Structure 1
Amino acid sequence: MRLMVWVAAITLVIDQLSKWLVVHVMALDTRLAIDVLPPVLNFRMAWNYGVNFGLFGGGSGATRWVLISVALGIVLVVLVWLRRDPPGRMGMAAAGLLVGGAIGNVIDRLLYGAVADFLNMSCCGIDNPFAFNVADIAIFAGAAGLVLAPGRQDGKRLKKGA
């Protein structure tokens, strides 16, 4: 469990530090766009009031609190699951990514009323209109890792190939 806490803490710090630098130091919230390595990497300010790709982003105060509650509920479910059926080191690291990313986006909703998305990547003639952040990457990687990490079965660790 200690590994999960460390990974979550490091993920949270990297996420919040990157958002603070981009929004407050680089003033992306007023500049709106900074080309870093066009078209592969750009900073594009996007305040996400909903979930992925702005879905359910009505911007109401109720939506904000519902999304905060859902994120914290998911974190709680993951923590309970980890206590009951620890998935091993790789699974614990994946859970840390998911938990740290979820808490990072919750902090954004509490501070700004929306999630600060700023990373935009395009390639090969495809112009990606969407932005994301470090927390989003961590949540995706953590969820994928938890799906792929073997758990326990009948109190014993699953063996490779079983």
Structure 2
Amino acid sequence: MGRPMTPFRLGLLALVLTFALDQASKLWLYFGTDLVLTQPWRFGPYLDLVVVWNRGVSYGMFQQEGGLGRWLLVALSVVAAAGLAVWMHRAGSRLLGLALGLIAGGALGNAVDRAAYGAVFDFVHLHAGQWSWYVFNVADAAIVAGVVGLILDSLLPERGPAGSSDPAPPV
């Protein structure tokens, strides 16, 4: 029948799939299409695909023009992903393992961009009328979904040992 999907295995699967989908989408859009030359690609009144190189962190904050900042962000992303993987190994719920895997996979996807190109390739632009959201990518979306998962997991009642529906006894 196979081995059960433990929180760590689910998190590892989420990490690998997030990283693969993120890198595949970026490589295909940048090298496999003419998006760079023909942008924006409009998909209705709310969604465009564009090419934006983000040299900062979330939402373009802390823009890094120099090499030192770039490599510090790469190192920070790799260290954060390693820490998340350790936490994922200790996760007590599948939701927590999944959330941590999404965040770690997204961090590694963006770290590869920074290391290879000096900036993160963002391409999804959501907008409506005068409202415009930041341009993002698959890794960014996975990180946001992972943070939502962390919040949801923290709001759920504590669980006892695996397979038990009884709450864990107080320590």
Q: TM-score range by the shorter chain?
A: 0.7 to 0.9
1:101-148 per-residue CA deviation (whole Å, 9 max, x = no partner) reads 11110111122111000000012x233162100100001111221232
Would the aligned equivalents of 2:11 and 2:88 in 1 still touch at CA under 8 Å? no
Gaps of 5+ in 2: 1-7
Which of 137, 141, 165 matches 1:137? 141
Gaps of 5+ in 1: none
**Structure 1 residues 129 and 6, CA, compared in 2 at 3 Å: closer, same or farther?**
closer
Give me the CA root mean square deviation: 2.5
CA shift, 1:90, in A, is 1.2
**Mapping of 1:63-78 within 5 angstroms?**
63-78=69-84
The 1-side partners of 2:133 and 2:114 are apart by 22
Q: Does 1:21 align with 2:59?
A: no
Q: In the alignment, what sits opposite 2:87?
A: 81
**Counterpart residue identity of residue 45, structure 1:** V
Say which is worse superposed, 8-17 or 70-79, in terms of deviation: 70-79
1:56-76 per-residue CA deviation (whole Å, 9 max, x = no partner) reads 113211111111111112112
DSSP 3-state at the match of 1:116: strand
Larger Rg: 2
**Mapping of 1:3-42 within 5 angstroms?**
3-37=10-44, 39-42=45-48
DSSP 3-state at the match of 1:72: helix
The 1-side partners of 2:126 and 2:113 are apart by 22
Would the aligned equivalents of 1:42 and 1:120 in 2 still touch at CA under 8 Å? yes
How many residue pairs match? The answer is 157
Q: In the alignment, what sits opposite 1:95?
A: 100
DSSP 3-state at the match of 2:10: helix
The 2-side partners of 1:59 and 1:13 are apart by 27
**Structure 1 residues 127 and 101, CA, compared in 2 at 3 Å: closer, same or farther?**
same
Would the aligned equivalents of 2:14 and 2:105 in 1 still touch at CA under 8 Å? yes
Q: Does 1:47 align with 2:53?
A: yes
DSSP 3-state at the match of 2:122: strand
Q: In the alignment, what sits opposite 2:110?
A: 105
The 2-side partners of 1:101 and 1:136 are apart by 6
Would the aligned equivalents of 2:81 and 2:105 in 1 still touch at CA under 8 Å? no
The 2-side partners of 1:108 and 1:117 are apart by 10
DSSP 3-state at the match of 2:131: coil
Q: In the alignment, what sits opposite 1:148?
A: 152
Would the aligned equivalents of 2:100 and 2:146 in 1 still touch at CA under 8 Å? yes
CA shift, 1:29, in A, is 3.0
Q: How many percent of aligned residue pairs carry the same amino acid?
A: 35
DSSP 3-state at the match of 1:44: strand
